[in-house]
A = this chain, B = another copy of it.
């Protein structure tokens, strides 16, 4: 059997990145999953990332520490209240307060470093331009500019080796399409977490933007959310 090409996959533990990981594998890549401990208020996401990485049989899962709290800013890392119960229209207005400063730029730079070590020329990131239009670093033009920069930054770029490619298989999909695709690939969404403000047991709040987008996606996909089902069973 031919050796599979290696790829670094950014894995937050949410449904998007878990689907991107399954897509990378379905395209024949050997996946190296990279997650970040960046001063999140809760460990639910990282616990989910570890479960998803194991379930999908990645070659290696690394959790890198980057303490963005050093600089302050942003709801996901600082003491700003997570907005709840907003309409979809309200979520689409401007840049969300849950925007984490330069997050994808930082995450991709670490992925690039690991790709260099692995001599991999592919990185997968589950950014999505439709549902999160407020995040500047989820846009196709940002990804294209990052790829161009990365190809000037590295040995591979200088020595004329294979060019680095940043794969964004979800970028133009709706949340419903992502869930349908992942379901077809066997992603176990009960393992994933998206809530910005879960209970200590990891139960999603159901009210934050992320929970609402997830619920809307499952409803439109015509599939029940196995995570919600699990907590309904537990509380029944």
Contacts and interface: CB of A to CB of B under 8 A. Distances in A.
Interface of A: 62, 64-68, 70-73, 95, 99, 101-106, 108-110, 112-114, 116-117, 136-137, 139, 141-142, 145-146, 148-150, 152-155, 157-159
A102 B113 contact: yes
Contacts of A136: 152-155, 157-158
Contacts of A66: 64-66, 110
**Interface on chain A toward B: helix, strand, loop, or mixed SS?**
helix
B149 A95 contact: no
Contacts of A117: 71-73, 101
Contact of A109 (B95, B106, B141): B106
Given A66-B66, A136-B158, A145-B148, A102 B153 contact: yes
Contact of A99 (B72, B145, B155): B155
A19 to B, nearest CB: 23
A105 B104 CA distance: 12
A114 to B, nearest CB: 4
A68 B145 CA distance: 24
A61 B166 CA distance: 34
A177 B67 CA distance: 37
B152 A149 contact: no
15 contacts: A62-B70, A64-B70, A65-B65, A65-B67, A66-B66, A71-B114, A73-B113, A102-B154, A103-B113, A105-B153, A106-B106, A106-B110, A108-B109, A109-B109, A139-B152
Given A148-B149, A149-B146, A152-B145, A101 B113 contact: yes
Nearest to A99: B155
Given A102-B116, A108-B109, 5 more contacts: A65-B67, A102-B110, A104-B153, A142-B149, A149-B149
